[in-house]
Structure 1
Amino acid sequence: MSLRSLRAITGPLRVLAASRSTAARAAPRISSALAPRAFMNAQPVRAFSLTPYVRGSGETDVSLSGTLEAEIQYEKEAGYESVPEFVKEFTKAGVWTIDDATGHDEVTLKRSFGNETISVVFSIADIDTPQSETEGEEAEDEASVSYPVRCSITISKPKNAPGALSIDTLAQEGSFVIENIAYYNDASLATDLTAEADWKRRGLYIGPQFDHLDVGVQEEFEKFLDERGINSTVALFVPEYAAHKEQREYMKWLESVKSFIDV
């Protein structure tokens, strides 16, 4: 391309650029001190929404509340009972009392035996419903599942008597499987759940594994617990009550969340 041709093309561009520069210089500048108040206070418009937010009026509130209500009704129709018959029968026997606070995951069974105070503590956290997968075939009637639940058994005597026994067991299939039996000179170490008590328990000898004991010793310990009512009846009750409490806490959760959404 010749120089003449190049100038012929760039010439108009220079003129246009010059005219824009002149116009920019000629345009008056508005001082912030003289700008209208409305102009200075103008807020940028949000592209995503022009509707003011009102607390508690989300578009999903109604549908979520309805779904929660449907779940509550489903659980009730499935046979939910606040105090099922097996609990009534257990407490009617008058051997054990049930310490169960709503909103907490632990349950304590308590009783007295002679000069001893016995407690069986267990948690609903151990419940884990197994899911069976069926490929291409429909599942038949669901078999009842016995959930293994860990229990901490404490046997203590009056304050003037030294020490306490702390027994770690597993309630499963109608029996208590003993894992360990610890003896503490200070009875509070067997029952206190404070950070101080936990620190004091560290490093203490807590006895051998139960299955490492002589068979004769194991059998005598089993008889010892059975005599105190820590037997198959309680071993069957614990997993069943844990499942019931988990269901009750779930219902309470559903109702509480729905009430919160509805406010």
Structure 2
Amino acid sequence: MARLLRSFRKTLTLNPQIHIQQQRLCISHPPIIISRRTYISEMRKEAFEGNISRLLRNEIQYEIQSSSSSKPPTNKFGSFMVDGRPGERWITLNRQFADENIKVEVTMFDGAAPAPKASGGVANSDEVQLHITLIVNIYKGDGGVLEIMCSAWPDSIEIKRLFVRAGKDTPAEPYAGPDFEELDDELQDGLYDFLDARGIDNKLATYLHQYMKHKDKTELIGWMEKVKSFIEKK
């Protein structure tokens, strides 16, 4: 018996390849517990992604159904042609007025303020009015550009600031003048009349709020569809 054990030990000593082959066998065939863990991890990942996909699908259906009764605004308002720029946070309005080219760049909703109190009543503290920013650019040939920054509330346009950019010679940080409210009252009224004559008035503010409500929902649905598509991608 002792001779048999000595012979077996000698065989292991003289043949190290046997030990190496055993190690390779263990590496190429890992314990089944690792495979089970990987399988469980994949199942959890698929369940998690499937839940996100389901939630997004429900949200998309809800938004589509809630907007089915609302009529989308037209891409024309008065003399302005409207470029909705799908997928972007801006839209652009363009028109010609006499010898002027007018371009208005408009944000989606970018702020809010408490709703004004109704006459004789108290406003609900939860009620707000949404804010839209307008950048009005009025071009007169080579005479530079008059740029007017405005706020559009649900039923009114409010001028904030204006200055002239003289083409290529405009400084990187031009003097933009005082705040509009610091100007003489008569001058303020004259500048509002100047914009009104060019179709930039309270009716335009109302139209833009209607347009942006529709765009906001359309962009939200598109965003959710892109996220859902990415999650479901194999």
Tell me whether the two structures share a fold, i.e. TM-score over 0.5: yes
Whole-angstrom distance in 2 between the partners of 1:50 and 1:164: 64
* 1:1-263 alignment, distance < 5 Å: 35-40=19-24, 42-43=26-27, 46=34, 49-51=37-39, 58-80=46-68, 84-85=71-72, 87-88=73-74, 91=76, 94-124=78-108, 126-127=110-111, 146-158=129-141, 161-186=142-167, 200-202=171-173, 204-263=174-233
Name whichever structure is richer in helix by fraction. Answer: 2
User: Which structure has the highest strand share of the two?
Assistant: 2
CA deviations over 1:100-127 (Å, ceiling 9, x no partner): 2221111111111111111221222505
Distance 1:179-1:49 versus aligned 2 partners, 3 A rule? same
The TM-score with structure 1 as length reference comes to: 0.66
- Displacement after TM superposition at 1:222 (Å): 0.7
Asked if the contact 1:163–1:187 (Cα under 8 Å) also holds between the matched residues in 2, the reply is: no
Secondary structure class of the residue paired with 1:146: strand
TM-score (norm 2): 0.74
Partners of 2:221 and 2:39 lie apart in 1 by 36
Give the equivalent residue in structure 2 for 1:17: none
Q: Which has the larger radius of gyration?
A: 1
Partner in structure 2 of residue 137 of structure 1: none
* AA in 1 matched with 2:165: Y
Query: For the residues of structure 2 that align with 1:41 and 1:182, how far apart are their CA atoms?
Result: 79
Contact 1:183 1:207 in 2 (8 A): no
Q: Tell me how far apart the structure 1 counterparts of residues 168 and 192 of structure 2 sit (CA, whole Å).
A: 22
- Code of the residue aligned with 2:177 in structure 1: it is G
Displacement after TM superposition at 1:47 (Å) = 9.2
Q: Rate the CA distance shift 1:70–1:35 in 2: closer, same or farther, 3 A.
A: same
CA distance in 2, matches of 1:129, 1:262: 39
Q: Deviation digits for residues 46-70 of structure 1, max 9, x if unmatched?
A: 5981428779x72223332222221
Q: Give aligned pairs, total.
A: 209
Any runs of at least 4 consecutive aligned residues in structure 1 with deviations exceeding 3 A, and if so which? 28-34, 40-48, 52-55, 127-130, 143-146
CA-based RMSD of the aligned residues comes to 3.5
CA distance in 1, matches of 2:153, 2:200: 13
Aligned equivalents of 1:110, 1:209: Cα separation in 2:
26
Query: Distance between the aligned counterparts of 1:117 and 1:54, measured in 2?
Result: 59
Unaligned runs of 5+ residues in structure 1 are 1-25, 131-142, 190-199
For 2:132, the aligned partner's letter is V
